[in-house]
Amino acid sequence: MAMVRKDGAEQPYIPLGVFKLRIPFVHYRFEFPEAISACLMCATCLGAIPVLTEYMGVSYEIAWSMVIINGFLYFLHALLGDPVVPGWITPAIPVVLAYLTAGYPMGPERIQALVALQVMVGAVFFVMGITGAANRLIRAIPASIQAGILMGAGIAAVIGEFAKYSPDASVSRFNVYRWSITLSALLAYFILFSDTFREMRKKNALLNAFGKYGMLPAIIFGIVVGPMFGEIPAPKIEIGTFFFIPQFGALLDAVSPFRIGFPSMQMYLAAIPTAIAAYIIAFGDFVTTDALIGGAAKSRSDEIIDFNPNRSNLISALRNFIMALVAPYTQLCGPLWAAVTASTSQRFKEGRTAMDSIFSGVGTFRMTTAFAVAIYPIATLVRPVLPVALSVTLLVQGYICAGLAIEMCKTDKDRCIAGVMGAILACKGAAWGLGVGIILHFLLAWNPLKSASEVK
């Protein structure tokens, strides 16, 4: 029986410095809607497998083992007090793949380059978290620039579905799975964001139950409509050994620097620009988290939610360091899965009877996915729909980021700066976008001649 929180208090925890240890079933309850959603939403997590096999040259089984290890590390966030559903640094994936394919041939050298990159990404997260710079930075950045980061992430997420899905591909993912992506994404939008559906839920118990599962109905819909249009094969559920045990020995032999050798100092130095770009992109996740969790906290007075960017940075650093040494990951380890955190926050807003605590929601989801990605019947069921699930997630993320960016802007000037900065960030990269945003802010919005009374 989980501890009961007093109204208006913070969810119970064990203090560990900056971390707040919360053990499932002890410090928060199990939420069945999030558990059921996680069982099929793990399709997006499994979507890393084809990328790892194609770009790292590993077998399906080793890639699956890497996904399982990464899945268990996701749970560190809820365990240590971060009220989010974490994920990849998704918009950075094309940057990472281009960096690896441009400079390093397939084989141990490319894997070592990825190890170096992920270690450097972890180091940036660690420095930002341990110095407290992350918390100060997110409070100090002007609204126009924060909104520009969000807008750029949203635009990049949507554009990516209509551009080539890999450097070697000739078409976009949308062109391959046109109807599956379109219909599934529209259903996800309707369930998550439609005022009409929100009103329908109030009058219909079945639709209300349907709406509790966020994007899950859209993923199931993709499994159904994909074969109808001939875009994906019909799913075939295999029982196998039921639970896939990660092939740790083969995994370490194939990708761990303890077996294939550590990167050279030159590789670490070469990885610094890409690592900084990845962090700039990931910084948008902290901005998004602050907006999402802040909005959820305002909707309910019964729970104090403590989101600390420094804590989130340190947990993200730990995940990146572990993955770099055990299973270097092209998706990297980011602080937020925006689409699922948004749907979880939306259900949290429905009240304590719907979701007791934000931690019971995010903790249940990531605890369940950690096991679901290793279950044979689930993995074989969702395997055909993996690309569609990834696309739907990115399109939902694009919608959320754009909405939060506009909401964050207080003036027309903020909106204009955010729009220009976001477009440049999406087209030219994070460094260009941030640079343009800073220049425009000081050129157009910053006014050192304002009197103290005007500033107030």
> How far apart (Å, rounded) are the C-alpha atoms in residues 106 and 192?
41
In terms of pTM, does the model score above 0.75?
Answer: yes
Q: What is the DSSP letter of 17?
A: T
Report the domain count for the chain. Answer: 1
251 within a domain of the structure (yes/no) = yes
Residue 169's pLDDT is 54
The pLDDT-based confidence of 92 (bands split at 50, 70, 90) is confident
Domain encompassing residue 426: 9-444
The pLDDT-based confidence of 48 (bands split at 50, 70, 90) is confident
414 within a domain of the structure (yes/no) = yes
**Section 325-332 average pLDDT:** 95
The helix (H) or strand (E) run that includes residue 304 is strand 303-304
Residue 250's pLDDT is 95
Q: How many CB atoms lie under 10 A from the CB of residue 266?
A: 9
**Section 289-304 average pLDDT:** 88
Contact 188, 41 (CB under 8 A): no
Strands 303-304 and 9-10: parallel
Of 409 and 325, the structure prediction assigns the larger pLDDT to 325
The helix (H) or strand (E) run that includes residue 345 is helix 338-348
455 within a domain of the structure (yes/no) = no
Helix (H, G, I), strand (E, B) or coil at 321: helix
Residue 162's pLDDT is 83
332 within a domain of the structure (yes/no) = yes
- Cα atoms in the 13 Å half-sphere on the side-chain side of 406: 7
Q: How many CB atoms lie under 10 A from the CB of residue 123?
A: 18
**Section 201-228 average pLDDT:** 84
135-149, 165-179, 294-308 — which is least confidently predicted?
165-179
138-142, 399-403, 423-427 — which is least confidently predicted?
138-142
282 within a domain of the structure (yes/no) = yes
Task: State residue 20 phi and psi, 5-degree precision.
Answer: -130, 100
**Mean per-residue pLDDT over the chain, rounded:** 87
233-242, 245-254, 297-306 — which is least confidently predicted?
233-242
Of 235 and 314, the structure prediction assigns the larger pLDDT to 314
51 within a domain of the structure (yes/no) = yes
456 within a domain of the structure (yes/no) = no
Of 145 and 359, the structure prediction assigns the larger pLDDT to 359
The pLDDT-based confidence of 410 (bands split at 50, 70, 90) is confident
333 within a domain of the structure (yes/no) = yes
Q: DSSP string covering 347-397, please? A: HHTT-TTT-S-HHHHHHHHHHHHHHHTTBHHHHHHHGGGHHHHHHHHHHHH
